Amino acid sequence: SQQGEEDPQALSIQEGENATMNCSYKTSINNLQWYRQNSGRGLVHLILIRSNEREKHSGRLRVTLDTSKKSSSLLITASRAADTASYFCATDRSNAGKSTFGDGTTLTVKP
Amino acid sequence: DAGVTQSPTHLIKTRGQHVTLRCSPISGHKSVSWYQQVLGQGPQFIFQYYEKEERGRGNFPDRFSARQFPNYSSELNVNALLLGDSALYLCASSLGGGAAYNEQFFGPGTRLTVL
């Protein structure tokens, strides 16, 4: 079974609103990465957060990590229609390259 | 710099055939990983190769094999194809080696359809 689980499975919001996606995992990790995927194509790397980090920012993206709860969240602020995609979290127990993915959150941003 | 490249983009095969998928990593990256993504699910780890050696294998049957070449490119081979092998096959590259926190960068994938 997959290590990570994203919540919610689907999210629909209006342009300009914030979107929050959550990820839970089962075992200890070395790092956690968030990816975006458009229409079943390749994954675009968004952010890597290390197990000793609690929060990371990149542009309109904010990622938090709570290792005590084995959970992470991805916040997209001021969403745009172009943010419509599937978002996946992936965990690595050692170094990257053997990632375990959840089944993703499908985000729809309506113009 | 070019990103991760994969070939072919699409492939249609029939049950029982074999297939070879190819991947070229980002220049300077020595680690290549392969993932299978079935429609509606997240990617599942198949193999990781670093410096031409297998460093990890997911829960896939022996029909799946891979190798990495001296230029760090990689091939994924699948024998005796089954309908359930229909999926998007993703290749990812990372620096590998002693780097503790390696970001993975994915290619566009190869869409395999088994009829």
Distance CA A102, CA A29 (A): 14
- Across A15-33, average pLDDT: 93
Note whether B79 and B47 are within 8 A (CB): no
Contact check, Cβ <8 Å, A33/B104: yes
- Mean pLDDT rounded to a whole number for chain A: 91
Chain A hits for B29, Cβ within 8 Å: none
> Which of residues B51 and A107 earns the better pLDDT score?
A107
- Across B24-45, average pLDDT: 93
Distance CA B2, CA B23 (A): 12
What is the tens place of the pLDDT at every residue in A85-100?
999 999 987 765 788 9
Q: Where are the domains of chain A?
A: 5-110
Q: What per-residue confidence (pLDDT) applies to B98?
A: 55
Residue B93 lies in a domain: yes
Q: Which CATH superfamily is domain A5-110 in?
A: Immunoglobulins (2.60.40.10)
- Across B58-80, average pLDDT: 96
Q: What per-residue confidence (pLDDT) applies to B56?
A: 87
**Residue linked to tokens 């209006």:** A14
What is the tens place of the pLDDT at every residue in A35-46?
999 987 889 999
CA count, 13 A, side-chain hemisphere, B12? 1
Chain B hits for A42, Cβ within 8 Å: 4, 90, 106-109
Q: What per-residue confidence (pLDDT) applies to B69?
A: 96
- In terms of DSSP bridges, do strands B19-24 and B31-37 run parallel, antiparallel, or are they unpaired? unpaired
- Lowest mean pLDDT: which of A7-11, B5-9, B63-67? A7-11
SS3 B95: coil
CATH of the domain at B51: 2.60.40.10
CB pairs under 8 A between A and B: 83
Phi and psi torsions of B62, nearest 5°? -65, -10
Residue A1 has pLDDT above 60, yes or no: no
Note whether B48 and A98 are within 8 A (CB): yes
Contact check, Cβ <8 Å, A96/B104: yes
For residue A9, the one-letter residue type is Q
Domain count of the fold of chain B = 1
Nearest to B42 among A42, A97, A104 (CB): A104
Residue B113 lies in a domain: no
Residue A27 has pLDDT above 50, yes or no: yes
Q: What per-residue confidence (pLDDT) applies to B95?
A: 84
Q: What per-residue confidence (pLDDT) applies to B25?
A: 96
Closest CA to B42 of A39, A104, A93: A104
Distance CA B23, CA B14 (A): 22
Chain B hits for A4, Cβ within 8 Å: 42
Nearest to B96 among A33, A90, A97 (CB): A97
- In terms of DSSP bridges, do strands B19-24 and A31-37 run parallel, antiparallel, or are they unpaired? unpaired
Confidence class for position A8, pLDDT limits 50, 70, 90: very high
Q: What per-residue confidence (pLDDT) applies to A98?
A: 81
- Across A13-32, average pLDDT: 93
Note whether A33 and A51 are within 8 A (CB): no
Q: Which range marks the domain in which residue B64 is found?
A: 5-97
> Residues with Cβ < 8 Å from A33, sequence gap 6 or more?
A45, A46, A47, A48, A49, A89, A90, A91, A92, A96, A99, B103, B104
